[in-house]
Structure 1
Amino acid sequence: MSGHISPGQMLDIGCGAGQLCFELATRGFDVYGADLSAVQIEMAIQSARRLLDVPEQRFRLCTPHLLPFEGHFDLITAIGVMPYVEDHSGFLQRSLSLLKPTGMFVASCTNALSLFTLMAVTRHVWSFRPDRTWFSVLANLVQTGLWSGTCVDRRTARQCGSAAALDRLCDQSGLTIVGALDLYNVVWGLLDRSPSQRGQLGRILSRHLGWNHIGAYRLRRC
């Protein structure tokens, strides 16, 4: 996807300790990050001291409903964030309010129905234990595709649970898809050895059976 955008100002939502920001900084991007975890933000600030100027202004604590930055960015990323967001539509609108008209939005979602989930559920069933933790993990895998689940209340959440659902939401928000990558997260079979070089059939299969979908989008021009 890197061929779709030139270096510019970028914001990584859910930046954690700043790994993606640091990688893109080496490629010429002016990087900023936001995260819910004060511990992760402090780690990012400390790591950035040797690489970036004024890291305290670049990495900031956010809330589920507020992104602590003004202005507009050439690139906004939200990788591994969507499963922990209750209202995907609201989150997308808040993110796009900070995106330049010519900018790119890159986000990922987890497919609950995937080859990885099927294998994980099978392994978990074989290790059956009649306790609350075992049943909790099983419910997490079936509902979210994640071992630990999320803090989101599934009864009220408005989330995208597949690649197609994320693409539809972005289309409804005025975005056009310009690139996609689907990862199985399965170690055997070399399924993820060359994901960018898959043929048409391989792309179709990975879109429907992959565990993690990453989409790159741009605002449609009127």
Structure 2
Amino acid sequence: MQPDATLSLAEVGRFNALADRWWAPDGPMAPLHRMNPLRVAWITRRLRRHFAEGFPGEILDVGCGAGLLAEALARDGFPVLGLDAAPAAIAAAEAHAQGQDLPLRYRSGRIETLIEEHMTFSVITALEVIEHVPDPGGFLSGLGAALAPRGLLIVSTLNRTLRSLMTAKIGAEYVARILPTGTHDWRQFIPPRVLSGMAGAAGLRTIDSAGMSFDPLRRQWHQSRDLSINYIMAFEKR
């Protein structure tokens, strides 16, 4: 894994700048606030099915930002370590979780450091992260290295299609302006078959996938079979 595989300084700076508005429901992270209940429900169903005899260990949420997913999973009773390279985002996450008595802790840093410390996790989540790293394949390899045997990796991202270009990039950033301009680079979006191939090269087996579709009239996200824009996938370590 190359040293720069998991980190773009430009992206870290972008998300650091958003840290103080991360938890505002109608702020720049509003799409993630609306998407989060769907993401959490999809993940928890798979965790409870995969670990039917009881959940071992801790979830590592890579690229946790200010903690939208990490905090929600902790409220559902899962121990969580949130990891992010943006220190301002981690500070916002810690401030928001303060006083809630959740099984949740945060750390500012990179996946390479945890690998060097020989840390492994039963579950790793990386949602809306992989499209922001310079080397997606290297990033997946790092996540796989930190995953315990039979552990689950859950990744969500955007498909590289004409529909995603028109809606998730042009529509969201320049027309509806529900995302800050420059949030995404469409060239970094990843087709599901490519993501599965990268995961296979990292020693991971694809076990599940679903589309995450937005209903603009109800302003709600729902699970679907349409993977042409937003999608989520689960992988098991071989």
Q: Tell me if both proteins adopt one fold, taking TM over 0.5 as the criterion.
A: yes
What is the alpha-carbon root mean square deviation over aligned residues? 3.5
Aligned to 2:160, the other structure's residue is in SS state coil
**Cα distance per residue 1:143-187 (max 9 Å; x no partner):** xxx9515589x7xxxx66211111111122221222212124452
Map residues 38-77 of structure 1 onto 2, 5 A cutoff: 38-52=87-101, 58-63=105-110, 66-67=113-114, 70-77=118-125
2: CA distance, partners of 1:78 / 1:42:
19
Aligned to 2:190, the other structure's residue is in SS state coil
- Shift of the 162–50 alpha-carbon distance from structure 1 to 2, 3 Å rule, reads same
2:157 match: 109
2: CA distance, partners of 1:16 / 1:120:
20
- Shift of the 165–186 alpha-carbon distance from structure 1 to 2, 3 Å rule, reads farther
User: Which blocks of at least 5 consecutive residues in structure 2 are unaligned?
Assistant: 1-41
TM-score by length of 1: 0.69
Aligned to 2:100, the other structure's residue is in SS state coil
Is the 8 Å Cα contact of residues 65 and 93 (structure 2) preserved in structure 1?
Answer: yes
1:178 corresponds to which of 183, 204, 207: 207
**Cα distance per residue 1:72-108 (max 9 Å; x no partner):** 1111000010111111111111111211102100012
1: CA distance, partners of 2:215 / 2:166:
11
1:218 match: 236
Aligned length: 185
User: Which blocks of at least 5 consecutive residues in structure 1 are unaligned?
Assistant: 125-133, 139-145
1: CA distance, partners of 2:159 / 2:222:
20
Aligned to 1:16, the other structure's residue is in SS state coil
* Deviation, structure 1 residue 54: 9.3
Map residues 116-127 of structure 1 onto 2, 5 A cutoff: 116-119=164-167
Q: Which has the greater radius of gyration? A: 1
Is the 8 Å Cα contact of residues 110 and 162 (structure 1) preserved in structure 2?
Answer: yes
TM-score by length of 2: 0.64
The reply on whether 1:79 has 2:117 as its aligned counterpart is no
Counterpart of 2:199, as a letter, is C
1:141 match: none
- Shift of the 50–93 alpha-carbon distance from structure 1 to 2, 3 Å rule, reads same
Is the 8 Å Cα contact of residues 149 and 237 (structure 2) preserved in structure 1?
Answer: yes
